Every structure is written in C-alpha cells, then in structure tokens.
Amino acid sequence: MYVGADYYPEHWPQARWKTDAKLMREAGFNLVRLAEFAWVFLEPEEGRFTFDWLDEALDILGRNGISAVLGTPTAVMPAWVKEKYPEVMATRKEGHRVNWGIRKNNCFSSGAYRLLSERITRAMAEHFRQTANVVGWQTDNEFGHPYCYCDSCRREFQAWLRRRYGTLDELNRAWGTHFWGHRYGEWAEIVLPDDEGGHNPGLCLDWHRFYSWLNVRFQAAQVRILREVCPQHFVTHNFMGTFSELDYYDLAADLDFVSWDNYPVWGAPAVPYGASLAADAMRGLKKRNFLIMEQTAGPGGWGTFGRNPRPGELRKVCYQQLAHGADGQVWFRWRTCTAGREQYWHGLLGHDGRPLRRYREAAQVAGEYHRLAAAVEGTTVKADVAMIYDYESIWALRIQPGYGPVGGSNFHAAAQRYYDACFRAGVNLDMIRPTDDFTAYSVVIAPHLYVLPDPVARALADFVAKGGVLLTDCRTGVKDGTNLCHDRTLPGLLGDALGISIEEYEAIPGDDKDGYAVIGQDDLPGAFTARHYCDWITPRKAEVLAGYERWHMKPYAAVTRNRFGKGTGYYVGTLCEEPAFYDALIADVLKRAAVKPVVAPPAGVEASVRQARGRRLLFLINHTEETKTVTVPAGGVELLTGRPSRGSLTLERYGVAVIKLK
C-alpha cells in the first residue's frame, strides 16, 4: 500500500534532502510524487535537459526505501516557451492572450505546445525508465483549464464538428438553427460560444464536449509515449473529484487507474458527505480502486487560508477514502512552501521544517495502513445501489439551469441530496455513466438526468420492468443528446415505467418565503417544504406518496411510486428542504429493493464495506467531535486493536474502526 507525500526538492537546499528522506522513512512513507511543476528545472532552455538534480533526489529517496511517481511537468510552462512561441498562450473571450505567470495558461489546440509537451515527456521517460525507484507517472496536473478562444481553437472546433456531424444539414438540424435564423451555410461561419446565456444550447453543449476532447487528446499523446518507453510503469492522473469541466470518464479511459486530490477540510467541522460522493465518482470512472494523489495535510489557501485540521481529523479523512476504494494516499504537501502563491497551503511540516503534530498523525496513519495492507489488498466496494453521474446533463443544466438562480438546477446539488440520505442509511453507492449496464444493481438513482437519449431511457425502463427499482426526479428527460427538447410529454419514454405524465411545471419564486408545503402519506409520512421547482404531476397508474397544500397544486402529486413489470419506479417532482424527506424516501426505496445495510450508523458516523471473495471489511468513521456508539455484527475482529466485535463498538471523536466481518 502506497503512503507518502508530494515532495518538491527543487524548493529546498540540497543539504536538506537527506533529512527529508530520513523523516519520511521514519514516518513509514514509501512513495512521493515529484516534478509536476519542474519543467524549467528539467529543460531550462529549449532542447537542453538537466536531470542531474532529480537523479540525486531520487537516489536519496531510493536509499530510504521510497519510490516515486513522476509528473509530466506541462501544467506550468517555462518563460522561454511563451517568449519563443507566444501562440501557445490561451486567449480570453475578449480576444487578448492571458499573461504568463500563473499555471494552466496554455492553449490545448496549439501545435507548438503539443510538440513541446511530447518532447519533455519523451525526454523524461527515456532518462528515468531504468531508475529503480520510479514506479509510475502522473500526466500533467489537474487538467481542466483554461478555456481558449483563439483562431486555432475555432478551426479545431469546426473540424471536430465536421467529423461529428458529417454535413451542415445534420448540424443545423441537431442544433435547431432555424431558431433566430442562425442557420450555417459554411463550416467557417461557426463561432465559439463566449456567452452561454445567449448562444445556441446545442452549440454550447458541443463546445463543452470539444473542450473535454482537447484535454483528452493532449493527455493521450503523453500516455502513448509513456507506454512505449516505460511499459513497466503505471500511468495515472490527479483528478479533482466533482470538478466538471471535462468528461472524466473519457479522460480516465487510457490510464491504469485514477488518482484524485481530496481537500474536504474547509469552514466549520461538518460531515464531509461530498468527499464520499467524490470518492465514489472517482472509483466509478474505471470501476476500480484509486489512489489519493493529494490529501489534506493542513490549512489550505493562497491569499487567505482556512482552519487547521483538528487533532485526529487528518486520520479520519484518510480512512474515509480508504473505506471508499483508495489503495493508498499521498499528502499534499510534505513541507509548507516559503515562496510563491501557495505559501499558505500548508503541508505536514510547517515553514520551519519541523516534524510536529501533523507529521506525527500522518506517521500513525502510515503505520496503520501498512498493518492493514494484507487485509485490504484485493478488496473494493461492491454496491447494490448505483447513481447515474452524467457530465452531459451537468453541462446542459449549466447552459440552461431552468430554475434558480439560488439553489438552481445544479446536478451536483440534486445528486448530493440522495447521496447524503444513502450515506446516513449506511448504504454504499456506485457512480455510473448513463450508458453503463444497470443489471448489476438493485436500485438506480438518476438525479436530474436532463439529457436523456432514447436508448438510455429504454434501458432504464427495461431495468424497472425486469425487477429493478428506479428513483428519478424533476428535469429528467427534458433534452435529447443534441440539447434539443424532446417533443413529448414529460417524462417521455419513462412515462410508463413511472406511471405519470407531466403536462406543466414551474419554478417556485425565490421570494416565496414559505415555499410550497408538501404533505407525505403512507410510506412517506411527514410535512415538508418544496423549494425552487415543482412538476405538476398527473398520476396515471402511480401511487401518490406526497402531494401539495397550495390550492393550485392540490390536483397534482409531488412524489409517486409505480409498479411496472417486476420492478418499481419512483418520481420526485420537486426539491424538498428537509433532509428528513430524503431519509424517509431512501428508506422506502431500499425496503422495496430489499437492500439492507450491514449497520445502521448513528448520526455523523459513516459506514462503508470493502470486500473480496471470502472477505468483508466494515469501515466506521466518526465525523463528529462526540463519542458515538455503533451496533455492529458480532463475531468479527476490529483490526486496528485486535479486539473481537461483540455487538457494540464505541468511537471517540474522529475515531475510526475496521472490522473484519465473520
């Protein structure tokens, strides 16, 4: 199991390197990431490579039993690149190039930048392919910015569209350019959408697809070189959880596994539901475990900084990720930098380089991880419940939110409501793409599946007919794959599976302080508050689980449940303010699907199960500053203490437990 830190030897005197390596070894570290921002130190002038300093750093680390992941350093170009090839700088919407001096400021369509990227990647690969303690590569760093509006990107976009649509007639049809008379007669007439609020929605959605493709193509060139020169090394990239400028499924496709950067410690202490959702999304990209490439190590910030992790908090942050599929983790960073923009992005060591509290807590985690390695090896999360995580719906909802602005139709906010309720119920989820096979799951949750091509709708209906339980909600099935509205009564092809029709809908005004009262009944009891949006649902065959109190809404349902074939389809036509609404709804969904969690965790405690053939490990994480008691299956062994589990387990503040179940 890899445990370590992101290390920047170029930031410190060479005389310090041996001290750093010794402290890492004593902490139980066995991995560092190096060089992802070191291009100018590796190629100080075009075509002249200087690898000797990195050779020395790697040698010192290797003699201390520490392996390395090398980053291709293309996220920050040297000054000589922008001076010699000014066209590599990204262009803003206003038409001027960005200033050099920050990171992530290149144009991904620039031929010069792509060639320079491939050259430094090949030079590094050829030099370090036989270095004994280099085990893998990270491509670039946190792909995702910037959007570029230069002439090169415009020409590339036009060529990409030509390959996608074949003819202008098909593009005009797909985008509905008869509206406002925006029909294209030549490919060269197509513009870049510098205002998503005003441009054609089909154009805007394809612009997101194209920009994602540019990043995927840029990475693919590096991956090809690394696979050719260093076939014995793994290749990964550090993703950013729920960052959504790129289609991460596509970016992950040619990597060995996904890594990601986890920074959940901001603001007041709270249950980090979002970090669990992000972990499941990262595991879902390739349906395999992942590595944490950057883990919270201290207060984060550039100009200002956040709070310091409480004692024990760094440890429980790590265990949350281990519980959801991490097979190792690397803290960002080793030592807090004394220069540059990230002087206040704190590491395990402070500016003074002394091994204090955060270092000691990291060493505790490293020791525990190594003790757990044999038990954890080969295990992963196997869920009965899946959530569809769809980048095209995310983009299309950004282009036309439909309701808002505060609390508008944000895909992530919608997904998080259902996810949090599953978290509180102690149920694991897989995050899947809309085109995945649903048959491995008992429940599929499809929040705000705004872009719903017909094949996906038919697959979901078939899933229900054959015995699955589908939970979906408002704004599902509005658009087709080209961002045109379906010319059908909502919810379109899901109408029979859900047993409803939606002939009208509305945004609830933001100045309506009371919202719309929702009254649940039968299996969804309670009084709730609808905010932001509501469908006017007419049940056809479906049962009504909740309705509205407002006079104009009394004829319509807020929540329905429908038997269809061997399965059940749920529809939620609004957004309820109270978490208790989602808890009650998910409880009914799980009951219908016969999904039973291993434990029913108390508030603030997270439960997750990793398993392999013949082994099941129950992870429990107390995210609160209070002592919690959890009812657990008897007959197992708590691996961190060696004590048998006897039906009840106490977790101190930020406490964790790993139980090998009988």
Q: Looking at the annotation, which residues are catalytic?
A: 142, 294
As a residue count, the chain comes to 662
The Cα diameter of the chain in Å comes to: 77
Bridge pairing between strands 567-572 and 637-638 = unpaired
Rounded Cα distance between 65 and 25, Å, is: 7
Rounded Cα distance between 31 and 344, Å, is: 24
651: nearest Cα among 632, 631, 628:
628
Q: Residue 390 burial by CB count (10 A; 0-12/13-18/19+): exposed, middle or buried?
A: buried
Q: Residue 120 burial by CB count (10 A; 0-12/13-18/19+): exposed, middle or buried?
A: buried
Q: Is the distance from CB of 502 to CB of 560 less than 8 angstroms?
A: no
Which H/E stretch holds residue 609? strand 605-612
Q: Is the distance from CB of 586 to CB of 421 less than 8 angstroms?
A: yes
Which stretches does DSSP call E strand in 433-566? 443-446, 469-473, 500-507, 516-520, 526-539, 543-548, 557-564
Kindly state the tokens that stand for 173: 């049809």
Rounded Cα distance between 304 and 344, Å, is: 7
For residue 527, the 8-state DSSP code is E
How does DSSP assign 540-578, residue by residue?
Answer: SSPEEEEEE-SGGGTTSEEEEEEEETTEEEEEE-EEES-
Rounded Cα distance between 474 and 295, Å, is: 35
Q: Residue 110 burial by CB count (10 A; 0-12/13-18/19+): exposed, middle or buried?
A: buried
Rounded Cα distance between 107 and 90, Å, is: 4
Bridge pairing between strands 648-651 and 628-631 = antiparallel
CB atoms within 10 A of CB 387: 25
CB atoms within 10 A of CB 541: 14
Kindly state the tokens that stand for 576: 């309820």
Which stretches does DSSP call E strand in 188-299? 234-236, 238-239, 259-262, 290-296
Q: Is the distance from CB of 516 to CB of 578 less than 8 angstroms?
A: no
Which H/E stretch holds residue 230? none
Residue type, 169: D
Q: Helix, strand, coil shares of the chain as percentages rounded to 5?
A: 35, 25, 40
Kindly state the tokens that stand for 639: 């691996």
